[in-house]
Chains A and B, each alone.
Chain A
């Protein structure tokens, strides 16, 4: 038999072929992702709680009316937004700076490149442990450095109500820099060098070049990575869980942590699932924005 025609875009066997190729991935996905997801969503409409032989009854929107009046949940929601935007924006700026520096012909480049990847290599548990030690008010190096500079050196970064969230955000930025830096660096390198040279020949200064050549070329990448970062950060769990467990006094209680406590500490599975559903709706809204933005930037 001769070769199967590989003509694009129309092929009759495409649909069937696609199913075959996708099937090995489909089975575990349905089992471990789709089905539990559906069950999880449904749980949000029940009064499921921990207990032997507990009857589970659907209770409609009761969970959600209760949630509306739950000040602590909305406070954690607000903290989640502050955290997500804070980490994403700072992470972006820091990573952009680093990516720009790495794109230059500087001497320490190989060292900086490797170190930029270090946080990625570390399990979030390790990152949290390490930073807890660093931020310790008595023997942590951060406070020691402050003391040697003459600044107040006994701030309990992770224990003080006003400094906990900022401190945790800094750790979040540290942990998240690798993927953003690498992506931005890749994007920078793909922006054609010719455009830069052309602009330089036209007399544009460094800043103008950056603003009018680099940034626009980077726009799709920036859009992609910041939207993803935002979603990932909003759902972040392990890092803050180990760092502060949501404390002190709930000042770093991300919504994922709050829902986790509701389910695993107090046993209110249905209520926690309802919280999850609310979080999902908000993030899905962001996603919609991302897809639309991507479609738009593709057109341009």
Chain B
């Protein structure tokens, strides 16, 4: 009998506690900052040696100048940051200063976990970044929940020797049209080698970002995050061209479409692919791993009917809404976003700073490395896209878009099937 009573108490307690405990620890959402000396935690996701050192440098300099606001630096990983934040936010133990990227952090913003830092950012920082990029870190009700830092674009790397062999001139200029790109690829496909290798194992980000070049917006998003989908010619232009290059022109290696970017890289470095499309930060790996005498460059940004536009997905610095000292945290972020600091980080990571003065600084400091120029130019054509604000986009991306695109690039479904799957999938997700 005693045991039954114990069990009964246990169950009742569980019921009671389950309600409270679920709301997480601190329910405080104070906009008032703590006064007096504070120590804030900052989780950085930088992983390249040079960037890690640069971040540490910035933090140390700040700590010296600001004895009242001490920053404690911790290290996270890109792979785990989302899952980690979910539990940390739930339990109230998230770092004060959070390093993430806009496509991920905006979801947390919608859940109310980020502080509004608009009033804490100085005008220098505000004016340095274009409105389009600010758009990617602003909620529908006008709150700025993050400072954009570094961006990547999809660029075309080219093996200059391979181009010379086939008599293809290296394009210069502000942009490279998709048609020209396709022609080049055809000419460069000879003797068992392919014109292009493109690692599209995770195809959705690349497709969604580059679709803007054809005005492919995919979604009409309302302020509250609800969105309707439309998949028309603009939206499908990029997948269609990739498919044509792979299966009609045979200038793009279909096997590479099923591999990740880094897995395709050895093929580029060994001469199997004359051109290689990927995030511009891969320039770092190419520099490190290329054999002696490997000559390469970055081509002008790919342009569709609407120009060389890509969706901006900047890395972000945010303040947790559960932080006890949001104002101090934002002050650090403001300092972190200065042109000088951003230039240091950009060079370490081979990424493009969102801040124009920082871009100029990088351009000046990298005069000896010509590939920086086209990369920085590609940063000019970045805009925000509706899909970034659509609620349930991450789920649609994982469960619908990625499998559908993978099947399309494996030539298992037709373009119409792809269109149907993308559209119907959105309505099935609730």
A–B contact at 8 Å CB threshold (below): yes
**A residues whose Cβ falls under 8 Å from a Cβ of B:** 30, 34-35, 38-39, 42-43, 46, 48, 50-54, 56, 71-72, 136-139, 154, 156, 159-161, 247-250, 261, 263-267, 269
CA distance A5 to B412 in the complex (A): 76
Question: How distant is A56 from chain B, measured CB to nearest CB, in Å?
Answer: 5
B410 interface residue, CB < 8 Å from A? yes
Q: Contact between A248 and B201 (Cβ–Cβ < 8 Å)? A: yes
B406 touches which of A39, A248, A266 (Cβ 8 Å): A248
**B residues whose Cβ falls under 8 Å from a Cβ of A:** 10-11, 13-15, 17-19, 21-24, 27, 29, 82-83, 86-87, 89-90, 107, 111-113, 201, 255, 258-259, 263, 266-267, 321-322, 392, 394-395, 398-399, 402-404, 406-407, 410, 412, 428
**Contacts A139-B266, A248-B201, A249-B402 given; does A266 touch B111 at CB 8 Å:** no
What is the predominant secondary structure among interface residues of chain B facing chain A?
helix
Q: Contact between A138 and B412 (Cβ–Cβ < 8 Å)? A: no
Q: Contact between A159 and B10 (Cβ–Cβ < 8 Å)? A: no
12 residue pairs of the A-B complex, CB under 8 angstroms, read A35-B10, A38-B10, A38-B11, A51-B112, A52-B29, A52-B321, A54-B23, A136-B263, A156-B255, A161-B412, A264-B82, A265-B394
Closest B-chain residue to A52, C-beta based? B112
**Contacts A247-B402, A267-B111 given; does A53 touch B412 at CB 8 Å:** no
* Residues of chain A with a CB closer than 8 A to B266's CB: 138-139
CA distance A160 to B259 in the complex (A): 10
CA distance A169 to B113 in the complex (A): 40
Q: Contact between A50 and B111 (Cβ–Cβ < 8 Å)? A: yes
**Contacts A249-B406, A264-B82 given; does A159 touch B258 at CB 8 Å:** yes
Q: Contact between B22 and A50 (Cβ–Cβ < 8 Å)? A: no
Q: Contact between A156 and B406 (Cβ–Cβ < 8 Å)? A: no
Closest A-chain residue to B104, C-beta based? A265
Q: Contact between A52 and B403 (Cβ–Cβ < 8 Å)? A: no
Question: How distant is A137 from chain B, measured CB to nearest CB, in Å?
Answer: 7
Q: Contact between B255 and A137 (Cβ–Cβ < 8 Å)? A: yes
**Contacts A156-B259, A247-B402 given; does A266 touch B11 at CB 8 Å:** no
**Contacts A30-B10, A249-B406 given; does A52 touch B111 at CB 8 Å:** yes
Q: Contact between A50 and B90 (Cβ–Cβ < 8 Å)? A: yes
CA distance A294 to B13 in the complex (A): 36
**Contacts A138-B266, A161-B412, A249-B406 given; does A265 touch B398 at CB 8 Å:** yes
